[in-house]
Structure 1
Amino acid sequence: MDANIDKIIDDSRLKLDKWRDSSLKKFNRFYDNKCDELERYYTQKVRQQQKEIDQLYKQLNEFNQKQNTIHEDNLNELQTNILNVKQKIAETEQKFISIHIRSLAIDKNLIIIGEMKIQEFDLTTLLLPYQTLNVSENFGFGLATTFDQLFSIRLDIKYVSYQLPIRCCSLQDNEWLVVEANTSQLFHIGREGKLKGTVTYDQPPYKVLLFGSNILVIRTDSTINFHEVWH
Structure 2
Amino acid sequence: MSQSCIIESCCSTLGILCHCCDKTFCPDHLDEHYESINEQLKPLAEEINTLNDQIMNKTKMKLIGNCLDKLNQWRNESYKTINNFYEKKCRELEEYYLKHTENHRKEINEIESELNKLIHEQNTTEDDIKLFQSTIDILQQQIKELHQISYHINIRSFELNQNCLSIEQIKSNEIDFTLLSSPFKTIDCSNYILWKNGYIHHVCWSSTLEKFILIISNKEIFLTDGNFQSIEQINIDPEKKWRLCACSETSLYLLSSQCSTEIFEFDLLSSFQLIQRSKLSHLSQERDYITDIIYNNETLALAINNRHKVHIELRSCKTFDRLWLIQLGSKPYSYYSMCLLNCNDWLVLDHKNSLLMHITSNGNIKSTVGYKEPPMAALLLHSNILAIKTENYLNFHKI
> Is the TM-score greater than 0.5?
no
* Greater relative contact order (CA < 8 Å, ≥ 6 in sequence): 1
Larger radius of gyration: 2
TM superposition score normalised by structure 1: 0.42
User: Could you tell me the TM-score, scaled by structure 2's length?
Assistant: 0.28
Structure with the largest fraction of strand: 2
More helix by share: 1
